[in-house]
Amino acid sequence: MSRLPAPGVLVSAAALALALPGVAAAEEGRWRHPLPGAELVGAFDFDRGTPYAGGQRRGIDLRGKPGETVRAACSGRVAYAGRIPGRGLGVTVRCGALLATHLGLGATSARAGAPVAAGAPIGRLGASGVLRLGARRAGEPHGYVDPETLLDGPAEPPPTAPPAGLRPRPRPAPEPVGTRPVRRAPASAPAAVPAPAWAGVALLLAAGSGGAVGVRRRRARRAASAALAGR
């Protein structure tokens, strides 16, 4: 007699069965860059209120190298693969509620009705080197959305140079320590002595020499007087 599974096992199996569709839907909603590292040369610009106005862009333009591998932007099923008038070859993938369109291909390896995973090769970039990636809600002719908001990271923006008047001036490289010569202050010349000062010094010397002569004379006189007194 076979044993029935425990109630807890049944609950876990039921929860897993309910979770699987959600996981599949989440995987299906993930978008990846069709040209990893490509340069964004055209941003999304579309107004649903005036869908036929000129100058609008219903997708984003990515610049790569001609012949570069183009990858599916999302997981789903190929809805169309072939030539599009005025746009070369293109591949459209149905990804849940959205349609991802890849335009500007030079060659395609996808076929209609086949499943495709996000990041899988679907063709090669055409001679223009520009891929137009579009995203539209299925069943809405003008339900275009910005594909860049669906990708797993923004495309690399084109480099912009600052205006000529705002470009920073190059700074001179600092001199290595010890190479700059040390500047010393010039030695100061002795101060000049004014002429009256020299005259005063001469008088002092003369007076000093005269005083010494007078002292010697007085000593001689005293010695002579003492000699006469002793006789």
pLDDT of res. 134? 96
Query: Does any domain span residue 199?
Result: no
Report the alpha-carbon distance of residue 151 to residue 34 in Å, rounded: 9
What percent of the chain stands above pLDDT 70? 53
Query: Does any domain span residue 231?
Result: no
Nearest alpha carbon to residue 73 among 129, 116, 40, 106: 116
Nearest alpha carbon to residue 121 among 157, 41, 58, 67: 67
Q: How confident is the model at residue 8 (pLDDT cuts 50, 70, 90)?
A: very low
For 59, the domain range is: 28-48+55-157
Nearest alpha carbon to residue 32 among 119, 102, 95: 119
Query: Does any domain span residue 174?
Result: no
212-231: pLDDT as tens digits: 555 566 666 666 566 555 54
134-178: pLDDT as tens digits: 999 999 999 999 999 998 654 544 444 444 444 555 566 665 555
Query: Does any domain span residue 226?
Result: no
Query: For residue 190, is pLDDT > 70?
Result: no
Query: For residue 1, is pLDDT > 50?
Result: no
Query: Does any domain span residue 100?
Result: yes
Q: What is the CATH number of the domain that holds 65?
A: 2.70.70.10
Q: How confident is the model at residue 179 (pLDDT cuts 50, 70, 90)?
A: low
Six-digit token string for 17: 């069965």
Query: For residue 55, is pLDDT > 60?
Result: yes
Query: Does any domain span residue 106?
Result: yes
pLDDT of res. 59? 93
Nearest alpha carbon to residue 46 among 36, 60, 34: 60
Query: Does any domain span residue 190?
Result: no
What percent of the chain stands above pLDDT 90? 44
pTM of the model: 0.55
Task: Report whether 36 contacts 131 (CB < 8 A).
Answer: no
97-145: pLDDT as tens digits: 999 999 999 999 999 999 999 999 999 999 999 999 999 999 999 999 9
Number of domains in the chain: 1
